[in-house]
């Protein structure tokens, strides 16, 4: 049963659109920084004329997404900005990151192979919307796992815009990280974010597919924690590939290290998660040709790859689970 009022649904849609505009022009790095800023600051960061930024900030101010400070002409993100951004992430992921599937649904349902070759998702949009969701939905649980273990060398597979690693590098100034992603736009976004956050000297960005780690595990060798957030479902659909990749990650871990995989299960049936899980499962199975495992199938894959123990940790993303596998 939906409990949202028409007004709250309208608010979520408006926030998603306004923040997506910011992400498209690069203004999100200013909004997300937590620092105060002026229109000129944002115009420089975004490379957009001052008049255009002034109009955009007027809309953000009217919407309550930013607030004026005591210094005339300076702004800061609203107190509930991160909450609103998290909610917007679901709308952004569903409608923008997966826009090609929606725009060309007839083509995908008629000739999926040709449609997949022709209509590709925007890697940066996927990375940004995933970060907006993940920062509240499952990043906290992963940060808790890494911090409790004391891991100082961390590799994130499918790191996207790098937000999770950047948070972990801020959590411990002696920690180093390696971000691995096959998408060039996502890797560029990670470098930009690391530079803006002052941790680029401790973050290495590697552009390559996860499957390549089977033959060349250098980015994960000796890692005390290997993370993979919503990317392993693309790998484990084939049992042999799953065993090869997961086995390579197991062998690469430092003694006492662990693999943390946050990912989706197929058509979760809990009332509070079934709607988003249905969309996630359907898009992957029909438009991406990816079969999502059930929770038990996930556990079986870790077992077959040689992990001695795998435990499941609840996360806040509907249909999502965090699997923590030990050598």
Range 6-79: architecture per CATH: Orthogonal Bundle (1.10)
Q: Say whether 205 sits in a helix, a strand or coil.
A: strand
Q: Give the model's confidence band at 2: pLDDT under 50 very low, under 70 low, under 90 confident, else very high.
A: very low
The answer to whether the predicted template modeling score (pTM) of the entire model surpasses 0.75 is yes
pLDDT of 3 over the 60 cut:
no
Q: Give the model's confidence band at 7: pLDDT under 50 very low, under 70 low, under 90 confident, else very high.
A: low
Residue intervals of the chain classified under CATH 1.10.10.10 are 6-79
pLDDT of 1 over the 70 cut:
no
Name the percent of the chain in helix, strand, coil, to the closest 5: 55, 15, 30
Q: Which fold has domain 115-326?
A: Rossmann fold (3.40.50)
Answer whether 176's CB lies under 8 Å from 168's CB: no
- 250: Cα within 13 Å, side-chain hemisphere: 20
pLDDT of 44 over the 60 cut:
yes
**pLDDT given at position 66:** 98
* Residues in Cβ contact with 78 at an 8 Å cutoff, skipping those fewer than 6 apart: 64, 65, 66, 67, 84
Q: Which residues of 23-60 are buried (b: 16+ CB within 10 A; e: fewer)?
A: bebebbbbbbbeeebbbebbbebbeeeeeebeebbeeb
Q: What is the overall mean pLDDT for the chain?
A: 94
pLDDT of 318 over the 50 cut:
yes
pLDDT digits (tens, 9 = 90+) for 282-294: 999 999 999 999 9
Residue intervals of the chain classified under CATH 3.40.50.150 are 115-326
- Which structure tokens are listed for 84? 């609103």
């Amino acid at each position: 049963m939906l409990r949202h009022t028409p007004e709250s649904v309208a608010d979520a849609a408006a926030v998603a659109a306004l923040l997506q505009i910011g992400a498209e022009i690069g203004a999100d790095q200013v909004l997300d920084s937590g620092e105060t800023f002026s229109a000129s600051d944002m115009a420089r960061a975004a490379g957009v004329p001052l008049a255009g930024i002034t109009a955009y900030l007027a809309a953000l101010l009217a919407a309550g997404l930013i607030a004026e400070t005591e210094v005339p002409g300076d702004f800061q993100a609203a107190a509930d900005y991160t909450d609103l951004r998290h909610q917007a992430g679901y709308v952004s992921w569903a409608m923008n990151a997966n826009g090609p599937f929606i725009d060309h649904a007839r083509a995908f349902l008629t000739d999926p192979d040709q449609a997949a070759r022709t209509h590709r998702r925007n890697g940066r949009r996927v990375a940004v919307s995933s970060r907006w969701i993940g920062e509240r939905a499952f990043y906290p649980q992963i940060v808790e796992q890494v911090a409790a273990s004391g891991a100082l060398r961390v590799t994130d597979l499918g790191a996207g815009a790098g937000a999770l690693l950047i948070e972990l590098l801020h959590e411990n100034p002696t920690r180093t990280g390696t971000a691995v992603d096959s998408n060039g736009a996502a890797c560029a976004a990670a470098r930009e974010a690391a530079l803006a956050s002052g941790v680029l000297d401790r973050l290495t960005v590697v552009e390559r597919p996860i499957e390549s780690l089977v033959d060349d595990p250098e980015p994960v060798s000796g890692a005390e924690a290997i993370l993979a957030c919503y990317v392993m479902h693309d790998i484990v659909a084939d049992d042999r590939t799953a065993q090869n990749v997961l086995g390579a990650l197991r062998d690469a871990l430092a003694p006492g290290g662990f693999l943390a995989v946050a990912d989706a299960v197929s058509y979760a049936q809990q009332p509070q998660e079934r709607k988003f899980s249905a969309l996630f499962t359907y898009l992957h199975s029909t438009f991406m040709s990816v079969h999502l495992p059930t929770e038990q199938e996930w556990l079986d894959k870790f077992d077959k790859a040689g992990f001695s123990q795998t435990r499941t940790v609840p996360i806040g993303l509907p249909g999502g689970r965090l699997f923590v596998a030990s050598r």
